[in-house]
Structure 1
């Protein structure tokens, strides 16, 4: 279990590095395109192995996307990768506060939506 959690933490860091590098102007266009394709594959309902097949449908997403991100990280120019890693390190320090703020925002937004629906009905 510890190995899986370590892998997920590493993947989270690599994904954050790639998302920061996506905004960098020196990142090659093919790397940007392949990263966007990998993210779209993750959210797309069309998969190599359909999600309706128990366990196997989820495993293909869990293998293909991290492998693509790790491979694309190696294709980044060294100065882009260095800058993206530095920026991602700074962002990870503030990640709990960012997640708390985002969660609070979503809860408030849902509360307003529910209140609006309530006011329309009654």
Structure 2
């Protein structure tokens, strides 16, 4: 959120804005450099590229602006608490049922 807020500031250099846009876009994009279905390598790009991009973006943004954006982001999320426990419970129950079904079919197979 701090990167997004910094992106909107006029005092941030244009090249930092472009890089922030690329990093945030890549992080939120369903399309990866290496598809996630490829074992190990699929998640490796997310584990390496996104933190590397975020750290480089942070270095491009002036420190005073970044600190201001961090405080703004903290204020935005300070009072935000999960409010939809029903949806979380339904999703959790569905995952548990899927896992039980898979285990049941696997165990009955042998």
Q: What TM-score range do you get, normalising by the shorter chain?
A: 0.5 to 0.7
Distance of 1:86 and 1:39 partners within structure 2: 19
Instruction: Give 5+ residue unaligned stretches, structure 1.
Output: 1-15, 108-122
Distance of 1:20 and 1:45 partners within structure 2: 24
Q: Does 1:92 align with 2:62?
A: no
Measured against aligned partners, the alpha-carbon deviations of 1:69-121 in whole angstroms (never above 9, x if no partner) come to 1221122112211211221221231232xx53xx69xx8xxxxxxxxxxxxxx
RMSD across aligned C-alpha pairs, in angstroms? Answer: 2.2
Among candidates 53, 64, 67, match of residue 79 of structure 1: 64
Structure 1 stretches of 4+ with a deviation exceeding 2 A read 39-42, 49-52
Match of 2:31 in 1: 45
Q: Does 1:62 align with 2:47?
A: yes
When Rg is computed on C-alpha atoms for both structures, the one with the higher figure is: 2
Work out the number of aligned pairs and report it. 85
Normalising by structure 1, what TM-score? 0.58
Normalising by structure 2, what TM-score? 0.63
